[in-house]
Each structure stands twice: as C-alpha cells, then as structure tokens.
Amino acid sequence: MPTRSDEKRLCHLSKFRQEASHGYRTRTATRPDCGGQGRNAHEEEPLRIAYGFAKGLFIAAALSVMLSPAATRQLSEKEKDAATEMPAPKPSRDMDKLRFLTGTWDVTGEYAKSEIVPQDRKSTGWYRAQLGPGGFSIIAEFEADGPVGKEKGHEVLAWDPKHGIYTVVTVGNAFPGALIGHGHWEGENLITEVEFELGGAKVQNRTVYSKLQDNAIHIEGPFRTAGGPYQPL
C-alpha cells in the first residue's frame, strides 16, 4: 500500500494534469487539498510564463495567416495594374504640322463672280484655332461676312493614322448638318477637299493653304460642279 508521502505525490501529479487540461488554471475552491499541500508560487510561475509565451506565438501565427492572403491579393492587383498600364499615346508629326493654324487670325477675302457668288464681293472676319484634347486635333471657330451674309461656324481637323489623311469636319449657320472632308499635303501646301450639295447639284470645294508664315497664310478655295473644271471662289 502507498505511504502518506506517496499519496501526496500522486495527488500532486493528479492536480497538475487537471490544471493543465484547463489552461493551468483552477478555481481555488475546487483545488484538492491533498493533505493540505498544494503547489507553491515557485511551481506555478514557470507554467504561467510558458503558457503566456505559447499563447502569444499562437496569436501572432493566427494574425499572420489572416493578413497574408489580403497582402498577397493587394500586391497581385498592383502588379496587374502595372502590367496592364499602357504608355499614353502622343500626337504624330502629322498633327505637329498643323500647329501653324493655332492662334487668332484676321481674315480678309475676295469672292469672284461665279455660279455660287452672283457678284464680286469682299469679306472680313476672324478665325481662332487651338489644340484639341491631347493635341490630337485642331479645334477652330470662325466668323465672317460670306457670299450669303454673316457666317459662323466651327471646324475640327485631325490626323487619321489608319487611312493616312486628315479628317476635316465643319459645321455652321450657312448649311444644315456637317461637312466632312479630308486633307493632305502637296509639297509645302495643305490641301483640304469636301463635297456638298447646293441647289440640287453636287459641289466639290478644294481649299489650298499656301505661303505659310508666322503672321500670314494665303488661302484659295476653288470649286467645281458636275466634274467640271475648278473655278475660283
């Protein structure tokens, strides 16, 4: 049979296992007396320190598991954005060649008598142009005393890289809708061409920008009908 000291030792081991199963903690009222001999402060302190250290490692590991996927997702999204980000396009040299139009210009002109203009006529007005968004176009507005009275309108010129020509769009108060034409260079001269209907007849207008200078531009706008020869306008 075990002696009294053996009973104390067995009781002490049994109490340690019970406390270990509850995180090293038992209520004072439920701790067995084991003959009036319990653990002293020197026995409990290492256990509490070990438990606290293990608990801290568990919490740190859990936070690492919870935060790592979010950080990975954020990094992958940034890498994806960087991979898909494309450099901004720049205007071509063909658009740079139209910069001579920018600014505010005084316009003086003469209309010769023709099928469109019943009698010779002089004209005055202004033309104001600036670069469009990104520098991919020239946006202009104009006002002048034309052959049919006061003319007001807007004009947009842009380079079409697919077809290798300029697209010219003009709207105004002298005609309905929009006139859509095209432009190209012939040597040092800029040529724009547009076709429209006037009095049931098709009219082709050809505008030539020549003698390009910083403070002056010479413009001629001959036209033709029914495929005939060009006449001065």
Residue-wise pLDDT tens digits, 121-164? 788 999 999 999 999 999 999 999 877 688 999 999 999 999 99
Q: What is the pLDDT of residues 27-68, one digit of tens each?
A: 444 444 444 444 454 445 554 544 555 555 444 444 444 444
Q: 35 in the Ramachandran plot: left (φ > 0), alpha (ψ -120 to 50) or beta?
A: left
Q: What is the pLDDT of residues 165-217, one digit of tens each?
A: 999 999 999 889 999 999 999 999 999 999 988 777 888 899 999 998 888 99
CB 183 within 8 A of CB 193: yes
The span from the CA of 69 to the CA of 212, in Å, is 64
SS3 183: strand
CB 122 within 8 A of CB 110: yes
Task: Report all structural domains of the chain as residue ranges with CATH numbers, in order of start.
Answer: 4-84 (no CATH), 93-225 (2.40.128.20)
Give me the phi and psi of 76, to 5 degrees please. Answer: -65, -35
The span from the CA of 11 to the CA of 38, in Å, is 9
CA contacts within 13 A on the Cβ side of 227 = 0
Residue 173 vs residues 142, 150, 167: alpha-carbon distances, Å: 11, 9, 21
